[in-house]
């Protein structure tokens, strides 16, 4: 695996190092030792799948608050998405900044998201599926979110006018400190 830290400290784009031949390729998408060697939490409490029927589907911006804050590792297993994280760590020099990566089934990139980040994505094609590894179990009482188009962050979504949202994601409040 190739770990590349984003401009947001502690958040990494991870590329699968492919061993290719005529049959295709083999690559490692997770290794407890390599994650720990990078200073990343290798704990996996649960794995989730998000399937999204339509291009333009936007899910986010979600996070889980303490004491159940979580790290996430995610990869697009079918289709493609525009994946966004926002640094909500008040003590961070990149507080309220965001980064986006395009994750597709072909590029096999992954995104490691530390505790203290909000996360969301917009699907770029129909029938997009995302696989998540979570460091903490889901606790509904700790579920939080900020609005996907909150002007405090100024996130530039690729399919601006074509956004399919749940009522919950549409109704998240503006961010306030």
Q: Which domains does the chain have, with CATH numbers?
A: 2-18+26-170 (2.60.120.10)
In 47-71, which positions are buried (b, 16+ CB within 10 angstroms) versus exposed (e)? Answer: eeebebeebbbbbbbbbbeeeebbb
Which residues are known catalytic residues? Answer: 62, 132
Instruction: Give me the chain's average pLDDT, please.
Output: 95
Q: How far apart are CA 136 and CA 148, in angstroms?
A: 23
**For position 129, what pLDDT does the model report?**
98
Length of the chain: 177
Give the tens place of pLDDT for each residue, 113-168: 999 999 999 999 999 999 999 999 999 999 999 999 999 999 999 987 789 999 99
Among candidates 130, 91, 140, 147, which has minimal Cα distance to 114?
A: 91
Give the tens place of pLDDT for each residue, 43-54: 999 999 999 999
39 close to 12: Cβ distance less than 8 angstroms? no
**For position 164, what pLDDT does the model report?**
94
CA atoms within 13 A on the CB side of 126: 0
Residue 31 tokens read as 């290794």
Give the tens place of pLDDT for each residue, 5-43: 999 999 999 999 989 999 999 999 999 999 999 999 999
């Amino acid at each position: 695996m190739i770990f590349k830290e984003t401009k947001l400290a502690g958040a990494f784009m991870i590329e699968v190092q492919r061993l290719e031949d005529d049959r295709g390729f083999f690559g490692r998408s997770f290794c407890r030792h390599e994650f720990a060697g990078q200073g990343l939490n290798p704990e996996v409490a649960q794995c989730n799948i998000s399937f999204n029927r339509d291009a333009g589907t936007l899910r986010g911006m979600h996070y889980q608050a303490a004491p159940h804050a979580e790290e996430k590792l995610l990869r697009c297993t079918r289709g493609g998405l525009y994946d966004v994280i926002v640094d909500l760590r008040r003590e961070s020099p990149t507080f309220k900044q965001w980064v986006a990566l395009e994750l597709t089934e072909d590029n096999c990139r992954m995104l490691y998201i530390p505790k203290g980040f909000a996360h969301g994505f917009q699907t770029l094609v129909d029938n997009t599926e995302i696989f998540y590894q979570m460091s903490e179990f889901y606790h509904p009482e700790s579920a939080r979110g900020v609005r996907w188009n909150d002007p405090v962050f100024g996130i530039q979504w690729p399919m601006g006018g074509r956004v399919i949202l749940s009522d919950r994601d549409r109704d998240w409040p503006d961010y306030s400190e």
